[in-house]
Amino acid sequence: MSNELQGKVALITGAARGQGRTHAVKLASMGADIVAYDIAGSAGEFLPYPAATTEDLAETRRLVEELDRRILTVQGDVRDKAALRAAADRAVAELGSIDVVVANAGICEPAKWQDITDESWQATIDINLTGVWNTITATAQHMIDAGNGGSVIVTSSYAGKKVQPMMIHYTSSKHALVGLTRGFAIELGLHGIRVNSVHPGGVATPMGGGGMLDAIAESTKENPKVNQMGQSFMEPGWLEPEKISDVVAFLASDASGGMTSEHLSVDLGTQYF
């Protein structure tokens, strides 16, 4: 454990499991108190992997409390700005501040363009893009009012710089987050608040479970060569979520104090050929 974030409070969305959980544990290990926000339920019946649960969110709480840090767990949807504002207000009232925001919640559905329903398109944009907008706009004023600067970290994807085949809705949402990051970096920079994005490649999380691999295979069976487009420079070609959390921790800390409007790839050098 370290004390680089001692006295800080980090609000993390999508914190019940996967990258969100490891972000919470990593930042807590550095001294931060945590606000763990997650829908802890279904975000759409069209998704091929199992939903996070209230038990998952409770496990995040347990892991943070094991590190002797305070944690608020909030079950809520990032599409609900009022709920996010209530969570931010509660964080300041009970924990004293919001110093780090990790806008991490997101969904992913493999599908050919012909098979993307209006429901799945809208939910993907509403959660992956508007949900990040809601998260930042619900927390930024608290950070401004405190006058202590801070760090906002947006979870995009290598699909936000390159492309994820057969996921136009997902790729579009993640590309849009690059523009959102740059725009907020300009406006919040006046208040000493840094805004950067992280772009993971393949990560071993529950999002890759359930029927996800079958859905990818189904979406690409008419054009299987696209499965060979993305090639990492290192093996095994995917990362454990803790590796992404290491980069999030760097962006949350003073070690990255000179960085804003940056877009850090954590994808083993994955390129498209």
**CB neighbour burial string for 91-126, b if at least 16 within 10 angstroms, e if fewer:** bbeebebbbbbbbbbbbbbbbbeeebeeebbebbbb
> From CA 96, how far away is CA 187, in angstroms rounded?
24
Contact between 261 and 185 under an 8 Å Cβ cutoff? The reply is yes
Active-site residue, from 37, 49, 158, 170: 170
E strand segments, the chain: 9-13, 33-38, 71-75, 100-103, 150-155, 193-200, 230-231, 263-266, 271-272
Classify 240 as helix, strand or coil. Answer: coil
Amino acid identity of residue 135, one-letter, is: T
Residue 49 a catalytic site member: no
By DSSP bridging, strand 230-231 and strand 271-272 are antiparallel
Contact between 266 and 243 under an 8 Å Cβ cutoff? The reply is yes
Is the torsion defined by CA of 171, 173, 179, 180 positive or negative?
negative
Contact between 229 and 272 under an 8 Å Cβ cutoff? The reply is yes
Catalytic residues: 170
